Structure 1
Amino acid sequence: MRIGIDFGTSYSAAGAVVDGQLQLIRFGDDRQFRTTVFFPLRMPDIAQFELTEQLHEQVRALVAGAKRDQSQELARVQRLREEAMQRPAHLRADALALVPTVRKQSDHEMQRAAVVAVRRQWAADEVRKAMEAGADVQNALYGDEAIEAYMASGTGHLVVSPKSMLGYRLEGGAREALLRISTQLLRHIRTTASAQLGTEVRQAVMGRPVRFRSSMKEAGGVQALEILTDAAHAAGFDAVEFLEEPAAAAYGYHRGQAAASRTLILDIGGGTTDIALADVGGTAPAPVIHGSWGEPVGGTDVDIELSMRGVMALFGKGVTPTAVHRYYEASTVHDLERQNNFRQASFKNVEAPYGPRLERLQLPGHTVRLNRAVERAKIGLSDQGRVGFELDYIEDGLRARLDKERLQDAASPFLRHLGELMQRAKADLPNQPDSVYLTGGMSRSPYVPAAAKEVFPDARIVTGDASLGVVTGLAHAAAAG
């Protein structure tokens, strides 16, 4: 059995075509689940790091090596400078310009860098040991159940949106940890699908963005696909193929269109925004994809901006001298490193009530709880003028209030990226599309169709299934293959 899998930044889903009929896999009572996993096992806390004698020895070895390397480099540069000075006068300036400049590090800087390197390796080793223990794998929870369990227990390890980390440089054991997490999520999908369909699921067509979020440009996308491929095989799939998500959405839209048309597919998810130009509908067995464009921005970026611009003032942003990046760390729940940095920060010297509020926000589960509330407020503001939510887990009587104007302000950077992406696609098109088909969670926002209409004024705007447009297409693509 071959299924389609939408492994999303915010939500994941799966489906198959059985006897000509689409069957979406149910995860509990829902046809999708948050791409979140909870391991009921306390993972290493970087705050527990201590320099034992063995680790001190590692630091000393790193410092000694750094001093040796620096001495050799300084000596090399000095030789080059002396050789340049021996050149004829008319060639000397050019020769000196080719001599590299080396900044000499102090002993203190070398010591600090060595401690950072040792701490990073210690954390990677502790993660590896915890992951190899196996208890977390056997007892993993997924989706909203994972979030509730994490907030209730106050222990364990919650991973939100692992897809958003796949394209970033992964140091130490981070790649192995992310591979195991992705494997667990894909195994959850495979076993759930197998149980519902009554047959062993061993093959899949998986959606992928046009461009992954990445710190390594194209190499990040290559790494992301490698990790997902390895994870799929480890999860029990014998074969996995990838299809760009807007192309997948075109498969789903194609089947319901009696008349052929040239359509721009606009898929806006939690982490990425993707476009494809396709001929859909009519008698063709499948859509014809003419091109694709992508930008690694999406709904989570609006959530972060809404939190930063509409909520973090309650925690002292713009009021106290607390560094702005601390608030960004608290708002970015899918970034494990930033979340860890926020939990380690000290706010003891921040004036009341903001210092105590930040300390409460550091408690397990509270940044996730705040993020969920902001996300719900964003959705609510699609058809309401004002939305409020309680923050009584931070302080009795504390309440956040957001309105459409604040949301529009928070969405402005995303809308700028969206407009630029659509203009780039428009410039590449030989002919303008007959229609623009919208899918993905962010397509529910009223400012998205307005933005599409501004760039493509003559096109018909078609609103598709915001949650299931991509997985529906993936299921049909899997059946066609």
Structure 2
Amino acid sequence: MFIGFDYGTSNCAVAIMDQGKPTLLPLEGHSTYIPSTLCAPTRESVSEHLFRHLNIAPSDVVGEQILRRSIAYNREEGIELVPEDIVFGQAALDLYLKDPRDVYYVKSPKSFLGASGLHEVQISFFEDLVCAMMANIKHTAEQQLQHTITDTVIGRPINFHGRGGDLANQQAEAILIKAAKRAGFRHIEFQFEPVAAGLEYEAALAQDQTVLVVDIGGGTTDCSLIKMGPSYRGKTDRADSLLAHSGQRVGGNDLDIYLALKKLMDHFGMSSQMVSGIKMPISQFWNPIAINNVEAQKDFYAKQNLAALNRLRQDAQEPEKLLRLIEVYNETLGYSLVRRAEEAKIALSKDDNYLVRIALLNEILEVDISRAQMVDAIESPKSKMIELVKEAVSQGGVQPDAIFMTGGSAQSPVLCQAIEQQLPNIPIVRGNDFGSVTAGLTRWAEICFK
């Protein structure tokens, strides 16, 4: 049996073909989407959980070394791991927000898969994370279907990590393949996410069109200029219909991060100065909220950085603000700050103002943000997204007949307006913002595995 598998940066979804149409399966309660999150007692618990409770062995020598060290660490800490200790999706976020200090929390591991400079140990650890999430989703789907799932088409962005090129993409695909095989899939194919979304749109077309698919997800923005319609539907070779691709690791997460940076981090000391008049180092305010950057997170939460933060507080003109930043360090609040910014972004798509409330140990910090301020804060990532739209059209050498927008961040009226301004007088068609890619992957799986 086959499924289409959208292993997304923000959410994951899977679907089967049912009576000729893709049908998404519930993955968390009644929801057909599960947030791409994992929460565990310790970082080391993931590897042990796979081996001890799911009977999933490491894929190589490095993984075996990690497993041995993980088991030894958990025994030293007195952690007796039970299956329920590893949680996923909204349950993982709820557990993290309840007490960030006492758990290990990961959001959007897909963002890191193509990162340059990863060591073998880091690559193996990300493989474990992805495998655990995929195994949970596969098991949930199989329970509902009462059938073993053996084959899958997994969606992938045009570029996993910025413009890291083939090496970054090969690294990310290798991690996904190993993780998927360990989770129990036998036959694995990939399809570009914007192409998959286009396949779902194509199913409803009565005549051929040239369509610009713009997929703005949590981690990446991907654009594909595609000829589609009845003449192309169902073909196994679509090379001639794919006119251009562009993609970069800039998505909804970046909008949240920039909004947090521009509107929240001043309250933690970013724009303040030292007694000497020297400005605060920007990295100390960027790193905690750069949740899609391995090195930034590592640098901020390193043990030696606490001493640096205390020195900044001692030398600060407004030391009370630096105390808040030290609390971010001690309480691991980076994800929480970005979450508050995400809530503001969503609210400001409809409302003119939004009051952010940040619960700290000794105060409730309130920050009022206007829609205009939000638009100004996200200008940098928004501009990168529009450049990708321009690049795809330029490469294809032809104006599209329609623009098909999909992805969670495609709901943003700010982004829609920016694309309309870039490509005026071209109709914008909206799909299922969260489900189009999954549906298209499932249609492609039917072609691959029939």
TM category (shorter chain) comes to 0.7 to 0.9
Cα deviation 1:388-427 (Å, max 9, x = unaligned):
1211225423212211122111221122212222222222
TM norm structure 2: 0.83
Cα deviation 1:141-180 (Å, max 9, x = unaligned):
1112112212334323211111111112212511111111
- Which residue matches 2:103? 156
Q: Which of 183, 186, 194 does residue 142 from structure 2 map onto?
A: 194
Contact 2:353 2:370 in 1 (8 A): yes
User: Which amino acid in structure 2 is aligned with residue 161 of structure 1?
Assistant: S
Cα deviation 1:281-317 (Å, max 9, x = unaligned):
3364337433322122111111111111000011011
Percent identity, please. Answer: 28
Contact 2:152 2:187 in 1 (8 A): yes
SS in 1 for 2:378: helix
Q: How does 1:399-418 map to 2 (within 5 A)?
A: 399-418=366-385
- Which residue matches 1:450? 417
SS in 1 for 2:372: helix
- Which residue matches 1:320? 273
SS in 1 for 2:330: coil
SS in 1 for 2:355: strand
The answer as to 2:125 corresponding to 1:177 is yes
- Which residue matches 1:141? 87
The answer as to 2:188 corresponding to 1:235 is no
Summarize the Cα distance change of 1:195–1:339 in structure 2 as closer, same or farther, 3 Å threshold: same
Q: How does 1:185-264 map to 2 (within 5 A)?
A: 185-213=133-161, 216-264=164-212
Contact 1:269 1:441 in 2 (8 A): yes
Summarize the Cα distance change of 1:156–1:43 in structure 2 as closer, same or farther, 3 Å threshold: farther
Larger radius of gyration: 1
Runs of at least 4 residues off by over 4 Å: 124-128, 131-134
Cα deviation 1:64-108 (Å, max 9, x = unaligned):
xxxxxxxxxxxxxxxxxxxxxxxxxxxxxxxxxxxxxxxxxxxxx
- 1:257 Cα deviation (Å)? 2.2
- Which residue matches 1:129? 69
Summarize the Cα distance change of 1:457–1:397 in structure 2 as closer, same or farther, 3 Å threshold: same
- 1:214 Cα deviation (Å)? 5.4
In structure 2, what is the Cα distance between the partners aligned to 1:332 and 1:395?
25
User: Which amino acid in structure 2 is aligned with residue 146 of structure 1?
Assistant: A
- 1:475 Cα deviation (Å)? 1.5
User: Which amino acid in structure 2 is aligned with residue 432 of structure 1?
Assistant: Q
Q: Which moved more, 1:140-149 or 1:389-398?
A: 389-398
In structure 1, what is the Cα distance between the partners aligned to 2:247 and 2:298?
30
Q: Which of 366, 390, 397 does residue 430 from structure 1 map onto?
A: 397
In structure 1, what is the Cα distance between the partners aligned to 2:126 and 2:335?
19
- Which residue matches 2:41? 40
Contact 1:42 1:155 in 2 (8 A): no
In structure 1, list runs of 5 or more residues that go unmatched: 45-123
In structure 1, what is the Cα distance between the partners aligned to 2:133 and 2:200?
24
Q: Which of 295, 299, 320 does residue 248 from structure 2 map onto?
A: 295
Q: Which of 155, 158, 166 does residue 113 from structure 2 map onto?
A: 166
In structure 2, list runs of 5 or more residues that go unmatched: 46-63, 75-79, 275-279
Q: How does 1:260-409 map to 2 (within 5 A)?
A: 260-282=208-230, 284-286=232-234, 288-321=241-274, 322-343=280-301, 344=303, 345-346=305-306, 347-349=309-311, 350=313, 351-409=318-376
Cα deviation 1:28-83 (Å, max 9, x = unaligned):
23111111111223659xxxxxxxxxxxxxxxxxxxxxxxxxxxxxxxxxxxxxxx
- 1:383 Cα deviation (Å)? 1.2
Summarize the Cα distance change of 1:155–1:392 in structure 2 as closer, same or farther, 3 Å threshold: closer
- 1:229 Cα deviation (Å)? 0.4
- 1:137 Cα deviation (Å)? 7.1
SS in 2 for 1:22: strand
